Each structure stands twice: as C-alpha cells, then as structure tokens.
Structure 1
Amino acid sequence: MTAIQIADRAGVRELTLSRPEVHNAFDDGLIAELTAAVRAAASDPAVRAVV
C-alpha cells in the first residue's frame, strides 16, 4: 500500500497523503515516497504544476 495517492488533471498533478491511521505523520518511508513522486512529476513534461 502506498502512502501517497496521485491524480493528474489537465497538467496538474495532485499528491495526497493517505495515512490516516498515523495522522499523515512523516517518517522515512513517507519522505522517500514523496521525494520519488515529486521527482517523477518534475521529469514528466505533461505536468505543469504539483499540488
């Protein structure tokens, strides 16, 4: 299970934290997933904004 939900809409990539059981607390795993998601968005020419 991933801690981040990703949705693309008209050039906007939305990253939503999805760990309600720990109130979306940051830990090493979440930070790694978030970093990877932001890097993937940065390398995708279709993505114009990240929310």
Structure 2
Amino acid sequence: MIPTELAERYNRLLGNTACSQLIIVAGATHETGWEEAWKVWRGLEFAGCK
C-alpha cells in the first residue's frame, strides 16, 4: 500500500499502463488493512496482461 499520489505519478511515468491498475482500498493504510485486501487481489489476472 502506497499513497495514491505516488501510485498515480508512477503510472504516469510508466507510459503504457495497460497492465497497471490503481486500486484504492477504503480504510486501508500502510500499516493496517492491506493484508486483507491483498488476499483478495493477489491472485487476479488483468485482461490482456500476463
């Protein structure tokens, strides 16, 4: 989990962001809540990305 502003800047610098997705998890911080969110998101595949 990183600050939204940092993630948005990183995506802009990537250029082609077809395989990058920013997901904002309400209530999660760098220290709490992210573990539960990661359990949900870690195994998902993004369309067109491998």
More strand by percentage: 1
Fold match by TM threshold 0.5: no
TM-score, length-scaled by structure 2: 0.32
TM-score, length-scaled by structure 1: 0.32
